[in-house]
Structures are given as structure tokens and as C-alpha cells.
A and B are shown apart, each in its own frame.
Chain A
Amino acid sequence: MRQYLANDQRFAVVLVGLTLGLLIGLQVRTLGLQRGSVGTSRVNVLVERLLRAQDEIEKLREEVDKLRQQISDYEKAMAEGRAATQRMASELNNLRVLAGLTKVRGPGVIIWLTDASKPNSPEDPSSGIVHDTDLLMLVNELRNAGAEAIAINNQRVVSTTAIRCVGNLITVNGVTISPPYEVSAIGNPNKLKEALTMPGGIVEQLTALGIPLKIYQRQDVIIPSLSVTPRLDLARPSEK
């Protein structure tokens, strides 16, 4: 249909073409801009975004709670660990005192005794002499009265200490000691003295044999540590 267009027809074609193109271009462009920009998004898109953000906030809050809980757990564990360490340290200290590994001081008694210058009964010459058994009984009595640390002539008496007669001398921890004997013990001074001086007790028996014996109550008794380190070769801790 090739034919000459009249002037007004040409004008109409140009006008219509321009207008239609402009409109289509504008529409495509503005729609594209709308899709691309956040600010002009439709309400439901924004609502969806808001909901998603709220979800995320909720999730993050839960995570914060979880992490806070973890922190407090760790803190508690740390405090417990510190408490455990302190407990272990104090226990260790107690055990060292009991094992005689440290020099200790505290209130207690000092018992001074020595051999009698002349025996009470002439028919038994050994009756006025302080025997190893006498010292053992003394130590036993002190322990029974709650003595926490005991030493004989500065030889610490612990669980492995042997007190025995070698010839006419006495050894404590394998170290020879000689009269006068000085037994020091840390514990409640009154309780210790009462235990020793009770009727029929060790002091009464010894004084009856003519052995000179004195008990001093002191607020500050110093007891040295063990002079030898006890050996542990065979004994092993057992869980059962």
C-alpha cells in the first residue's frame, strides 16, 4: 500500500508515533525505576521486609540470650574453679601440716621430763628411767586429746615416726635423743593438759615412778618440720 501521504496525514503519523513512543518509554522506564528503588516499593513489599527484619531481630535476640547464658555459665564455672583451687590450696596446707612438711606454730603444751636421779624402787633400777614406751604413751595421749602437731626434742612426730629404744638411748625418726626430754604439742592447751593429768593417767604413772615431769601451757609453741622426708615406694592410692 504504497501511496503518497497527505501533509496532514504525515503530521498525524509523526505526532502519534512520537506520543506513543514517549508514553511507552516513560512507562517502561518508571516501572523499571520502581522495581529498582526501595523508597517507592509497594506497601506489601515493605511489610514483607519488615516482617523478615523482625524475624531476624527475634532470632538475634534469642542468640544474645543464649550467649549471655553461656557467659554466666562460664563465669560460674570460673568461680567454681577458683573456689576449687582455694579449697585445694587450703587442703594442701592442712595435709602438709599433718604430714610434718612445714614448721608450725600455735597454742599448745610443752612437757618436760627426764630420768630420775635415783630410782624410787631400788630393786628395779630401770624404773626411774624414761622408756620409749613412756614417750609413745605420752604421744598417744596427746594425739587422743586432739594434738595437731607433736615433736620430741625437736624431732617431728608424724604417722611414719618410730620411737624406740636403741641400747639405753631413744631414737625418734632414726635420730638419737637423750634426756631431758621435751615433748611439745600444738592443740588446745587446757584439753591437752587435762588429758595428761587425769587420774590414773600417764603423768600420774610417771610421777609415781619418781620421774620428774613438768607441763607448761604456752600460747606459742613452735614445732619444726620433719628432718627426714618419708619415702613412699610401695603404697599407692587406691580408688577401691
Chain B
Amino acid sequence: MWLGFFALLLGLVLGLWLPSIAIFPVTLQQQLPNYLGLAILAAIDATLGAWRANMEGTYDTGVFLSGFFVNMLAASLLAYLGDLLGVNLALAAVVAFGSRIFNNLAVIRRIMLQHWRQRTSRVG
């Protein structure tokens, strides 16, 4: 479990450090946040989905990894396409991922509550 946190921390440091040595062109730096935000949203959604699947006992690494990266790319591409077409497709991705994140959170909450109740009833 801690491995994941360490990896997250390492990634954070790397991400904070990379732009400070200015290896990105200016135009990319201007456009990056528009798509990166969506990618992050997709990543969080995939992670929460994996957590939920793990709790439900249906977790599959292949599904998780593929979903993680494909959703990330898809969300970014969708936003890019929306920019090309002049339609705010990023909004669609935000709504979809947002609702899914809340859904997953709700399921996780319920399962955890159940686990906790089972444990307390067994002890009591």
C-alpha cells in the first residue's frame, strides 16, 4: 500500500520540478492545463473505480490499467476535439467523470460502512 503513496509523492515532486527547468515550449505550457485537468479527473475516476472493484472483489489489473490510461487520453483528446470544433466537450468529460467519481465514492462508502458494522457486531 505504501508503495503507491511513495510513487505518488515521487510523481508529484517530478511534476513540480519539471516545468521549473523549462523544457516545454511556451505554447504547450499555455495549452497544457486545459487537457491536463481532464486527464487528472479521468485518472482519479479510474483509481476510485479500481478501489471500488477491489472492494467488490471484481478487481482486474488489466482492466484498471487500460481504463486508467485510455480514459486519460480519451478525455484529453475529447477536450482537444472540442477546442477544434468550438464546442466545449471538456464539459461533457467533466460531468461524466465527476458523476462517476461521486458514484464510486458512494459505493465505497457503503461497502466500508457495511464492513465496519459487520466487524463491530462480531466484536459486540
Binding site for B on A (CB under 8 A): 2, 5-6, 8-31, 33-34, 39-40
Residue in A5, A23, A34 whose CB lies within 8 Å of B40:
A23
CB–CB B11/A28 < 8 A: no
| Contacting residue for A33 out of B9, B19, B65, CB 8 A | B19
Pick from A6, A28, A34: contact of B15, CB below 8 A. Answer: A28
Picked from A12, A21, A30, the residue with its CB within 8 Å of the CB of B65 is A12
Are B30 and A40 in contact (CB-based, < 8 A)?
A: yes
Give B1-26 interface residues, CB cut-off 8 Å to A. 1, 3-20, 26
Tell me the complex Cα distance, A6–B4, Å: 13
Contact A30 B36 (CB under 8 A): yes
The one of A15, A23, A34, A39 that contacts B39, using a Cβ cutoff of 8 Å: A23
| Contacts known (A17-B4, A25-B12); A34 close to B61, Cβ less than 8 A | no
Q: Are B61 and A18 in contact (CB under 8 A)?
A: no
Pairwise interchain contact A25-B64, C-beta atoms closer than 8 A: no
Nearest-neighbour CB distance to chain B for A208, whole angstroms, equals: 119
Number of CB contacts from chain A to chain B under 8 A: 118
Q: Is B87 on the interface with A (CB-CB < 8 A)? A: no
Chain A residue nearest in CB terms to B47: A16
Q: Is the pair A21, B7 in contact by a Cβ cutoff of 8 Å?
A: yes
Smallest beta-carbon distance A75→chain B, Å: 53
Instruction: State the CA gap A23–B36 with chains docked (Å).
Output: 7
Known: A17-B5, A19-B68. A27 touches B37 (CB 8 A): yes
Q: Are B4 and A16 in contact (CB under 8 A)?
A: yes
A-B contact pairs, 30 of them (CB 8 A): A10-B3, A12-B65, A16-B47, A17-B7, A17-B11, A18-B7, A18-B8, A18-B14, A19-B43, A20-B11, A21-B7, A21-B11, A21-B12, A21-B13, A23-B11, A23-B36, A23-B43, A23-B72, A25-B12, A25-B13, A25-B15, A25-B16, A25-B18, A27-B40, A28-B16, A30-B29, A30-B36, A34-B30, A34-B33, A39-B26
- Secondary structure at the A interface, as helix, strand, loop or mixed, is helix
Q: Which residues of the other chain, B, contact A11 by a CB distance below 8 angstroms?
A: 61
Which single residue of chain B is at the shortest CB-CB distance from A26? B15
Which residues 65-94 of B sit at the A interface, judged by CB distance below 8 A?
65, 68-69, 72
Bound form: Cα–Cα A16–B46 in Å: 10
B9 — nearest CB in chain A belongs to which residue? A21
Interface residue B32 (Cβ < 8 Å from any Cβ of A): yes
> Is B44's beta carbon under 8 Å from chain A?
yes
A18 and B10: CB pair below 8 A? yes
Given A39-B26, A40-B26, A40-B30, are A24 and B15 also a contact pair (CB < 8 Å)?
yes
- Give 3 closest A-B pairs by Cβ, nearest first: A25-B15, A21-B11, A17-B7
Known: A17-B11, A27-B36. 4 other contacts (CB 8 A): A12-B61, A19-B72, A24-B40, A25-B16
User: What's the minimum C-beta distance from B7 to chain A, rounded to whole angstroms?
Assistant: 3
Separation of A157 and B26 alpha carbons in the complex (Å): 99
Are A17's CB and B29's CB within 8 A? no
Q: Name the A residues within 8 Å of B3 (CB-CB).
A: 5, 10, 13-14, 17
Residues of chain B within 8 A of A14, CB atoms compared: 3-4, 7
B13 CB → nearest A CB, Å:
7
Q: Which of B6, B33, B44, B65 contacts A20 (CB 8 A)?
A: B44
